[in-house]
């Protein structure tokens, strides 16, 4: 082998190593951005009360109302989860469990808690694992969280009796988690689901965000980051799949989405709605951005939720 060819092969080998190391570094960075728990710079969660907020009164009520503290152990993990519980004004068998979004916490759910309280429901608002005050270092986009929320539902039934009527309600990642829960074996007391702006599956949403935020293609970053997630957190992005879950569902789901949602694109709600095999209803709120359908049109939102629940909760 000539000296020139030898140096050419060495240079090629060095280049390959540099590329591999660079891709690994990028995938680890992207893993920390997407999966590792902690504050997410690209997710704005502001729980500051502002009088200009159309839901100011509801959020102030939630901040000030007396709450009970519930705890639960995460499914398959030695993690302590915490939740706030607000009993209804009048004793009832009806309870809603609220599921917040990615990089968020229970304090961000005040508007929804007030809505269901006004509708006469007991309200349980947990911090999802790895977020808020709940323990955990991983956000799995609904893959693990759906099983945790099933345990919360079981706790409601254990405390309030077999006559319980439970609704699972989620926003954004919470909406996807709600849909994933619908694909599990659920107790008969879990009567219905409401999902607001959930994605079809984590891989599709992360691929979309990689393009939107960084102008990056699917390959190779998303598959590599998914592989890192499998090694470090035990799941692939494709495992968090709401689209597959609703195909197994046979209970009622109300699908809500903002017509101007560019974070979880509105097209995704049509995909999960068509795939769902249970009784279903679709509400797309014109002009509403991501996770803003309630604040954008509170009257329409409450009307649709109330009418939907009246069919299945008595």
β-strand partners of 196: 171, 256
pLDDT at residue 42, as a whole number:
54
pLDDT grade for 41, boundaries at 50, 70 and 90: low
Q: Which pLDDT belongs to residue 311?
A: 97
Residue in 142, 161, 51, 151 with CA at minimum distance from that of residue 101: 142
Instruction: State the residue for tokens 């829960």.
Output: 181
Average pLDDT score over residue span 245-274: 98
Measured between alpha carbons, how far is 54 from 306 in angstroms, rounded to an integer?
A: 19
Which tokens in the block code for residue 292?
């803003």
pLDDT of residue 193: 98
Backbone Cα Rg of the chain = 21
Q: Which residue, chain included where needed, has tokens 């590329």?
A: 19
Across the chain, what does the average pLDDT equal?
A: 92
The pLDDT value recorded for residue 26 is: 81
DSSP state of 248: T
Per-residue model confidence as pLDDT tens digits over 217-240: 999 999 999 999 999 999 999 999
Per-residue confidence at 6, pLDDT binned at 50, 70, 90?
A: low
The pLDDT value given to residue 4:
58
Min mean pLDDT across 188-192, 209-213, 243-247, 260-264 is at 209-213
Prior bond of 220 cis (ω within 30°): yes
pLDDT at 14: 41
Percent of the chain residues topping a pLDDT of 90: 84
Architecture of domain 49-201+240-312: 3-Layer(aba) Sandwich (3.40)
- For residue 44, what pLDDT is reported? 59
CA torsion angle 195 197 200 204 (round to 10)? -150
Given a cut of 90, whether residue 154 has pLDDT beyond it is yes
pLDDT tops 50 at residue 12? no
pLDDT band for 43, please (50, 70, 90 cuts).
low
Residue 282, pLDDT > 80, answer yes
Q: How far is 34 from 57, CA to CA, in rounded Å?
A: 33
- 207 has a pLDDT exceeding 50: yes
Domain ranges of the chain: 49-201+240-312
CA distances from 258 to 172, 283, 292 (A): 11, 9, 7
CA separation, residue 275 to residues 43, 125, 186, 268, 306 (Å) = 28, 28, 19, 11, 24
pLDDT confidence of 131, banded at 50, 70, 90? very high
**Per-residue confidence at 13, pLDDT binned at 50, 70, 90?**
very low
């Amino acid at each position: 082998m000539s000296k020139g060819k030898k140096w050419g092969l060495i240079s090629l080998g060095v280049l390959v190593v540099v590329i591999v190391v660079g891709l690994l570094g990028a995938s680890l960075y992207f893993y920390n951005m997407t999966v590792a728990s902690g504050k997410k710079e690209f997710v704005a969660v502001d729980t500051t009360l502002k009088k200009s907020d159309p839901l100011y009164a509801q959020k102030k009520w939630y901040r000030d109302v007396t709450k009970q503290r519930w705890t639960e152990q995460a499914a398959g993990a030695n993690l302590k989860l915490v939740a706030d519980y607000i009993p209804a004004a009048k004793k009832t068998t009806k309870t809603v469990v609220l599921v917040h979004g990615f990089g968020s916490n229970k304090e961000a759910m005040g508007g929804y808690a007030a809505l269901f309280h006004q509708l006469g429901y007991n309200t349980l608002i947990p911090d999802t694992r790895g977020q808020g005050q709940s323990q955990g270092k991983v956000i799995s986009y609904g893959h693990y969280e759906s099983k945790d929320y099933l345990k919360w539902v079981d706790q409601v039934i254990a405390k309030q009796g077999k006559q319980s009527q439970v609704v699972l309600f989620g926003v954004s990642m919470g909406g996807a988690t709600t849909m994933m829960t619908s694909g599990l074996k659920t107790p008969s007391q879990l009567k219905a689901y409401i999902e607001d702006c959930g994605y079809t599956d984590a891989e599709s949403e992360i691929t979309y965000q990689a393009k939107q935020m960084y102008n990056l293609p699917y390959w190779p970053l998303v598959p590599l980051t998914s592989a890192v997630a499998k090694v470090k957190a035990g799941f692939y992005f494709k495992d968090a799949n709401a689209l597959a879950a609703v195909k197994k569902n046979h209970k009622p789901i109300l699908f809500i989405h903002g017509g101007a949602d560019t974070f979880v694109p509105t097209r995704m709600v049509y995909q999960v709605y068509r795939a769902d095999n249970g009784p279903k209803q679709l509400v797309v709120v014109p002009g509403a951005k991501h996770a803003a359908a309630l604040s954008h049109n509170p009257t329409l939102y409450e009307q649709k939720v109330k009418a939907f629940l009246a069919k299945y909760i008595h």
